Amino acid sequence: MIEHKKTAQLYEKLYAMQTAYNTHTNITRLSSRDDFYLKHIDDSLALLPFVDAGRDAMHCVSTGVRLIDLGTGAGYPGIPLAIERPDLHVVLNDATQKKIRYLDSVITELPLSNASAVWSRAEVLNRHYEHHEQYDFVTARAVASLKDLLILASPFLHSGGQAIFMKAKNVEAEISAAKRTAAKNNLSLLDVHKYKLADMDRAIVVYGKE
């Protein structure tokens, strides 16, 4: 539940921008206010305790913490995380240029000085010197299989960094199928948190890089 007045105003502005942009460019399938808050904002903010706990575990200073959100789409979970944690630098990554144009406008208009958007395929971006092993956190929501996400995420993380993935059904089967891939990419399973979003099954899966 959003309580801070300024934060609530930012979410209302974000909803208005998303709705207006969606009239001419397909950014997201969700259109109602209820869906926006439940399936975009509330769902994204479920990651906050894990980001905060990860920062504590890594003994991160309050500034300079970097997170990249892969396949961010319309900016979730990255934008809500940037709104809620102004001292967290969030990079929004997507391979679809029209979505990056939209995200650039959101970053400018809200504004979000701690966020930026990058147009690239993740498997290309994770080899670039400005991004390779430069992040404390990698997040992704409903982008790919867990195996594929581990392969994409590991090169972005420095040693001790964490990958935090949002999943729905069959998470145990995905975790089991990804064991070898995790080990090959120097990632260890740290936590699996299952929860309900309204009547929908959700899970947050956390890996740490050795």
Interatomic CA distance for residues 65 and 44, integer angstroms: 18
Helix (H) or strand (E) holding 207: strand 200-209
Is 160 marked as a binding-site residue? no
DSSP calls for 175-194: HHHTHHHHHHTTEEEEEEEE
Is 122 marked as a binding-site residue? yes
Phi, psi (degrees; rounded to nearest 5) at 100: -65, -40
Which residue type, as a one-letter code, is found at position 65? V
| Cα three-residue angle 182-186-188, rounded to 5 degrees | 60
Is 71 marked as a binding-site residue? yes
Is 96 marked as a binding-site residue? yes
Interatomic CA distance for residues 48 and 38, integer angstroms: 15
> From residue 205, how far is each of 1, 50, 162, 189, 191 by CA, in Å?
23, 10, 10, 8, 6
Is 76 marked as a binding-site residue? yes
* Closest to 162 (Cα-Cα) out of 76, 50, 79: 50
Is 123 marked as a binding-site residue? yes
Is 173 marked as a binding-site residue? no
Residues of the binding site? 71, 76, 94-96, 122-123, 141
- Binding-site residues for S-adenosyl-L-methionine, in ranges, read 71, 76, 94-96, 122-123, 141
